[in-house]
């Protein structure tokens, strides 16, 4: 089976893949995300995933005939795109807008088989319902720094987990990578998903 490469510096994505039996090599793309500004939420998530994947595919560090995965997530609230907050004030304002409501988390996935040159892209959507948190809870959460590092200013696998009341769709997608969608992409590229459980990047 081909070696597997993750074109992302997200610890949560890496942990999710490892929990699913994959052990990817990590090569950070370094893509300037501002170049995709202005796109609708789904298109933005897909475009950023494609840019990250493409930025890594041609590097010398990528093993021969590897599968390279690029991912990016954005939260859609009232039609607006919410990536990583700019600062603490931005994170606070977002939580004040999100509390007691729901948003849609879009994660773009781009998978390239460098052995064949074939690339497939798809997005996964998950609806996230947020608790009606207090101002004090928001302030305490923002003070930890966690919401400043993630799209939508929240996590479900960290301190923010208690602020998410319900998830409709793939739970792993909210963490940053949809395992069922990734399995489908792997199979469409002609590879056996279960064989990747023992693959090493």
17-60, pLDDT tens digit by residue?
999 999 999 999 988 777 778 899 999 999 999 999 999 998 99
Q: State the helix-helix crossing angle for 135-144 and 88-98, rounded to 10 degrees.
A: 140
Report angle CA 183, 168, 146 to the nearest 5 degrees. 85
pLDDT of res. 38: 83
pTM: 0.91
Rg, C-alpha atoms of the chain: 17
Q: Which residues pair with 123 in a beta bridge?
A: 108
132 carries an active-site annotation: no
> Using an 8 Å Cβ cutoff, are 16 and 179 in contact?
yes
Element (H, E) at 45: helix 41-57
User: Tokens representing 81?
Assistant: 């795109």
Q: Residue 200: CA atoms inside 13 Å, Cβ hemisphere, count? A: 0
**Residue in the structure block whose two tokens are 């004040």:** 96
Q: Which of 72, 87, 113, 170 is catalytic?
A: 72
**Full pLDDT tens readout for the chain, 201 residues:** 789 999 998 899 999 999 999 999 999 998 877 777 889 999 999 999 999 999 999 899 999 999 999 999 999 999 888 888 999 999 999 999 999 999 999 999 999 999 999 999 999 999 999 999 999 999 999 999 999 998 899 999 999 999 999 999 999 999 999 999 999 999 999 999 999 997 444
């Amino acid at each position: 089976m081909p070696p597997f490469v993750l074109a992302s510096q997200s610890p949560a994505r890496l942990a999710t893949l490892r929990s699913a039996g994959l052990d990817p090599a990590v090569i950070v793309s370094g893509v300037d995300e501002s170049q995709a500004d202005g796109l609708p939420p789904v298109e933005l998530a897909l475009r950023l995933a494609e840019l990250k994947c493409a930025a890594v595919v041609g590097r010398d560090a990528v093993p021969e005939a590897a599968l390279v995965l690029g991912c990016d997530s954005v939260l859609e609230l009232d039609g607006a795109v919410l990536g990583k907050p700019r600062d603490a004030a931005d994170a606070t304002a977002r939580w004040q807008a999100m509390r007691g409501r729901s948003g849609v988390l879009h994660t773009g996935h781009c998978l390239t088989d460098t052995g064949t040159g074939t690339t497939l892209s798809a997005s996964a959507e998950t609806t996230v319902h947020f608790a009606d948190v207090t101002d004090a809870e928001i302030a305490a959460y923002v003070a930890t720094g966690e919401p400043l590092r993630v799209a939508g200013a929240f996590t479900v696998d960290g301190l923010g987990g208690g602020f998410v009341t319900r998830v409709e769709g793939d739970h792993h997608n909210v963490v940053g990578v949809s395992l069922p969608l990734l399995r489908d992409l792997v199979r469409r590229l002609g590879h056996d998903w279960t064989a990747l459980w023992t693959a090493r990047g």
